[in-house]
Amino acid sequence: MEALLSGQVEPGDVVVIRYEGPRANGMPEMYFATAIVAADPRLSHTTAVVTDGRYSGAAKGPAVGHVTPEALDGGPIALVENGDLIEIHIPERRLDLVGVQGRRLEVHQMTEVLATREASWVAPPPRHTSGILSVYSRVAGGSDSGASLT
């Protein structure tokens, strides 16, 4: 939100909001990020928002939600860094990391980059340490299975 509100997001960027999935934060609505993008004439037709959180029917513009596996589970969304290239294939329902530092890489190169990042990735501490969200975060499934209790 800070990057969007302060003008740090440039046309063509993909804004990645992670650690908002069912286990990380209960899967809150990400409406405000899409509303900010939609309200900015520079960004409204060029910028996507990608999250492991969720959207309601009120979301505006290019938005990809419910990304699984979520970041807390070490999904690829946890490994994205500033400057990475992300391709969104709407007809194929695919989201791909295709490059780093603004440079496109071959599939095998990208696989190596992600393996290196994954080897040093550490899950953040739980956001909720007591209460119902604490219980939910320990037992919820991914959003691809309805985020139901397992």
Query: What's the pLDDT score for residue 56?
Result: 83
Q: Letter for the amino acid at 79?
A: L
Question: Which pair of tokens denotes residue 69?
Answer: 């596996």
Q: How far apart are the first and last CA of the chain?
A: 32
Q: Which residues are catalytic?
A: 56
Domain boundaries, the chain: 2-129
Reported as type and span, the H/E element at residue 5 is helix 2-5
Rounded distance between C-alpha atoms, residue 104 and residue 31, angstroms: 30
Homologous superfamily (CATH) of 2-129 is IlvD/EDD C-terminal domain-like (3.50.30.80)
pLDDT (tens digit per residue) in 18-61: 999 998 988 889 999 999 999 999 999 999 999 999 988 878 77
Question: Which pair of tokens denotes residue 2?
Answer: 């800070």
Rounded distance between C-alpha atoms, residue 6 and residue 112, angstroms: 34
Cβ pair 27, 20 in contact under 8 A: yes
